[in-house]
Amino acid sequence: MDPIANPFAPGAGSRPPSLAGREKILDDVRIALGRIKAGRHAKSIMMLGLRGVGKTVLLVRSGELAEERDYIPMLIEAPEEKSLAALMVPQLRVVLYRLSKFEKARTLANRALGALRSFASVFKVAYGEFEVGIEAEPAFASGDLETDFTELLIVVANAARAAERPVAILVDEVQYLEEQDLAALIVAMHKIGQKGLPVVLIGAGLPQLAALSGEIKSYAERLFQFINVGPLDTTSARDAIAVPIHTAGEQIDVDAIELIVTKTEGYPYFLQEWGSHAWNTANASPISLSDVVNASNQAVAALDDSFFRVRFDRLTHREQDYLRAMAALGKGPYRSGDIAGKLGIKVTSAGPLRTGLIKKGMVWSPSHGETEFTVPMFAEFMMRVMPDWQP
């Protein structure tokens, strides 16, 4: 059928034609936004899930819901190796300029801009030129990240309250934040919550994030409502395929839908990929079972070339071996000893490899001593991409 009219949208963060099965999560977001705006307490939200389940899409949608409720949203994606200060300063600056347009918040916003300026210079973040008249506020710069970031966020929040425009901080790929940066963010939000200030934090990341340690862990447990973002249930997965096709004025057979749901196991990214190829493969509506059978090979090939491939290419040969050894063991989660055994090396020498792979966001630890892929169906891909592997 006409590829130009194809409604499906495979791609990182691509808006799906139908955001299926996420009403409960979005309701939790609406409640938190509503409560914070009304000056009531609400936990920050942290969405955790594997790659391709739709976390970024949910975060973007949360930003829209926030904006509809008069929030000023700031969306941050934490890339590897970038500090919290470097991520926050330019965004907070935009927020503060917006707040300074409100007469009743101008003084506080300008003071916060001064604090931001001091913060940026102490943590050596390039921030460009500040407007004339914005004086640095050295009192905000002790050099201790937790203290300074907390103070900074409080002055920003005070300006937000004066303007009656709450701030929504949306952070994607939270797992890439250094532990000290995440700690500073958590401590700052904890203080904001105690003071009942109008700032809400909504984060998204890989599941390993829940494995924080020590004092920060207990803070985080009180601060966050952890939301598990998983594959779609069967009904929602069917909707994710059928609704966009019907909306486009076309049809798909029931057994064709069922095959897509089975093949994709309800993973949103895969649903988009299968839906897209099924549409393009079919000569005419309704899309049939045999269309989906034909489309499956293309969908797998497309995933191998993009979704899986980009992650594989970022690995060293030794890391590739490690993941291939996992795949050779069958279905996960995998025990460290078994993986090392498969590789023919000591557990102790496999340790650093595993740590590196966790840092890169390729694997995570569902429980002590266990390892699992962060990308669904990655084991099968590893078998395809390294078919003749020998330990």
Ligand X SMILES: Nc1ncnc2c1ncn2[C@@H]1O[C@H](COP(=O)(O)OP(=O)(O)O)[C@@H](O)[C@H]1O
Residue nearest ligand X, Cβ-based: 54
Q: If contact means CB under 5 to 8 A according to the sort of partner, which of ligand X, Mg ion, none does residue 354 touch? A: none
CB of 44 to ligand X, least distance (A): 18
Q: How far apart are CA 184 and CA 303, in angstroms?
A: 37
In whole angstroms, how close is the CB of 49 to ligand X at the nearest point? 6
7 binds, among ligand X, Mg ion, none (CB under 5 to 8 A by kind): none
Given ligand X, Mg ion, none, residue 63, with its beta carbon under 5 to 8 Å by kind, binds none
In this structure, are residues 130 and 111 in contact, taking their beta carbons and an 8 Å threshold? no
Minimum CB separation from ligand X for residue 160, in Å?
27
> Hey, is 287 helix, strand or coil?
strand
Three-state DSSP class for residue 255: helix
The vertex-213 CA angle with 210 and 218, nearest 5°, equals 80
- Tell me whether residue 57 or residue 122 sits nearer to ligand X (CB atom): 57
Residue 27 CA, chain-centre distance (Å), reads: 18
How far apart CA 319 and CA 362 sit, in angstroms, is 10
- Residue with Cβ nearer ligand X (198 or 268): 268
Is the sign of the CA dihedral 248, 253, 257, 259 positive or negative? negative
Residue whose CB is less far from Mg ion, 50 or 252: 50
The distance of closest approach from Cβ of residue 200 to ligand X in the complex, given in angstroms and rounded to an integer, is 20
> Which of Mg ion, ligand X, none binds 16 (CB below 5-8 Å, type-dependent)?
ligand X
HSE of 42 in the Cβ direction (CA atoms, 13 Å)? 22
Measured N-to-C along each axis, helices 378-385 and 317-328 cross at an angle, to the nearest 10 degrees, of 110
Q: Which of 6, 18, 44, 56 touches Mg ion by CB under 5 A?
A: 56
User: Which residues contact ligand X by CB under 6 A?
Assistant: 9-14, 16, 19-22, 49, 51-57, 240, 268-269, 271-272
Strands of the 44-48 sheet, one edge to the other: 72-77, 167-172, 199-205, 44-48, 224-228
With CB under 5 A as the contact rule, which of the stretches 51-59, 156-164, 237-245, 257-265 interacts with Mg ion? 51-59
Closer residue to Mg ion, CB minimum distance, 228 or 247: 228
Binding partner of residue 272 among Mg ion, ligand X, none, CB cut-off 5 to 8 Å per kind = ligand X
Q: Could you list the residues that contact Mg ion (CB under 5 A)?
A: 55-56
